[in-house]
Amino acid sequence: MDGLAEWAEIAEVRDARDDMRGVPFAFAIDSHLGAETGTINVLNAFRLAFWVKDRYVGRLEAPLVTEHPVVAGFARAAELMLVDFPAAAYATVLPHEIFGHGARLRELGLEASYQFLPTPPYGFDPSGTLPPPAFYAASPDERIVVLQSGIRVENFQARAILRSAVRSRRLDHIDSGLLTGIKIHEVFEASLPWESNDVREWTTILAEKTGGSAEALQTRYLIGSVVTTFTNPTLLYAAYDVGWRFLVEGERTGPLPAPTIDGVSLWFDTHVSPVPWGMEYELTALARVHGVVLEATPRVGHGPGGGSAGFAADVSEWRVLPGLVLAGGVDVWVQPEIDFDRVRLGGLGLGVLSSGPPARDRGRPGVRAYGETRFEHEGLFFGVRFGGKTRGLSGLASIQAETEATGLVGVILGPP
C-alpha cells in the first residue's frame, strides 16, 4: 500500500508539472508533406499566431476593461468579427482545399488549382479547388473520395484542437471559435442546395452508382450532421466560451470544465463523417489521467454502398521521464473496398506507383498503427513518429498501404 501511495503522489506531482508545461504546438516534416502533416502545420501556425496576438492584445486592453468595460466589450466584438473570424476561416479553408481536395487529387496523379477569395466579412464568395478535366473521367469512388476530403480535413482539425484542450485542461477563445465554426460549417455545407456544393456532388455520384436517390442521401447526411453537431458537448461549450466568456466577460482563455471522476477528466465528442459508401457515425471518448490523454473512437457506417465498422485508440502525452514523452495509437476497421488504384503522389507530388488493385470484396479489414517519441527541453521539443497502414480509408492518410516516418519540432506554451 505504501508503494501505491508513493506512486500516486509522484503521479500527482508529474500531473501538476505537466499542466505548467502548457500546450505543445507541433510542426511536422515528412518526405512528401502529406495531408495530415500539412493540415496540422497550417492549423498550428494560425493557432500560434493567435496565441501571440491574444497575449499582447490582452495586456493592452487590461486598463480599458477596468475603466470602460462596455467599450472593451464592443472592442472585443469588433476584434472577433474583423480579425479573428476572417483569419480563422483561412485556418480551415487552406487545409480544406490544399490538403483535402488537393491532396486526394495529387494522390490520383492529377494536378489541382485553387481559387482563394476574401472570407467574411470582407467577401462572401466561396474559395474552391479547380480539378483538371481528367478528374471527371475518374471512377465514382475516386471522385467521391476527393469531394469528401475537405470535410474530413476539418474533422481532423477539430479533433486535434479538442485533444489539445483535454491535454491542457483549458480552451483559448480562438480554439473555441475554430471548434464552433468547423461544427457549424459541416451542417451548413450539408444543407446547401447548390449544384457545385461538395455534399450535393458526392451524394449525386453515390446515388448514380447505387441506383438510389441523391436527395434522400443528402437529407440523411444533413439529419446526421444536425443531430451529432447540436447534441455535441464540444460545440455547446465552445459556443458558450466564445460568446459569453470572451465577448462578455473578457476572458481570452479559461478552464475546460471536463467532468472528473476519481481524478480522471472525461470529455465526449460526436461526429458523422462522409465515406465513399455513405456515412460513418463516431463517438469519441477522451480521458486525462495524470497528464496522459487516452482516446477511444468506435464508429459504425452505413449507406447505399455498404456498411462498415471501426475502432481507433490513442495514447498521448505519456511522460515517462521529465523530458521524454511517448504517444501511440491503432485504428482497425472493416469497410467496403474502395476503387482507388491510381498513382499515389502525396501532398506535394512525390511518391510511388501503387501495387495495383486488390481483390474486390464487401468487407475488407484493415489496420493502421503508429508510435511517437518526443524530447522536451525548456519549452522546445523535437521528436519522431513511425507508423504504417494497410489499404483502406483511415483519417487523411493515403488510401493505399503505406509506411510513415515523420519528424516533429515545436514549442510548448502556457496560457496567452
Could you report the per-residue pLDDT of 330-348, keeping only the tens digit for each?
999 999 999 987 544 444 4
Q: Answer whether residue 196 shows pLDDT above 60.
A: yes
Mean pLDDT to the nearest integer, 118-141: 92
Could you report the per-residue pLDDT of 387-416, keeping only the tens digit for each?
999 999 999 999 999 999 999 999 998 888
Q: How far apart are CA 171 and CA 51, in angstroms?
A: 12
Amino acid identity for residue 156 in this structure? F
Q: Which residue has the cell 462596455?
A: 70
Q: How far apart are CA 95 and CA 153, in angstroms?
A: 7
- Confidence band of 8 (pLDDT split at 50, 70, 90): very low
- In terms of residues, how long is the chain? 416
Alpha carbon 83 to its chain centroid, in Å, reads 22
pTM of the model: 0.89
Percentage of the chain beyond pLDDT 90 is: 70
Q: How far apart are CA 48 and CA 34, in angstroms?
A: 21
Where are the domains positioned within the chain?
A: 31-413
Q: Which of 216, 203, 349 is nearest to 276 (CA)?
A: 203
Q: How far apart are CA 40 and CA 26, in angstroms?
A: 8
CB 225 within 8 A of CB 186: yes
∠ CA(393), CA(399), CA(404), 5° rounding? 100
Strand, coil or helix: what is 181?
Answer: helix
Q: Is the peptide bond before 121 cis (omega within 30 degrees of 0)?
A: yes
CB 324 within 8 A of CB 307: no
Task: Tell me the β-bridge partners of 45.
Answer: none
Question: Which residues, including other chains, have CB under 8 Å from residue 394's CB and lie 6 or more apart?
Answer: 331, 333, 366, 368
CB 80 within 8 A of CB 177: yes
pLDDT of residue 342: 55
H or E, element range at 183: helix 173-191
H or E, element range at 404: strand 402-413
Q: Which residue has the cell 446526421?
A: 224
- Confidence band of 14 (pLDDT split at 50, 70, 90): very low
Cβ density class 303-339: b for 16+ within 10 Å, e for less:
bbbbbbebebebbbbbbeeeeebbbbbebbbebbbbb
CA distances for 152 relative to 75, 121, 351, 394, angstroms: 34, 25, 22, 10
∠ CA(217), CA(300), CA(307), 5° rounding? 60
Mean pLDDT to the nearest integer, 124-140: 91
Q: How far apart are CA 299 and CA 303, in angstroms?
A: 14
Least confident of 70-74, 189-193, 230-234, 288-292: 189-193
Query: Grid coordinates standing for 101?
Result: 481536395
pLDDT of residue 358: 40
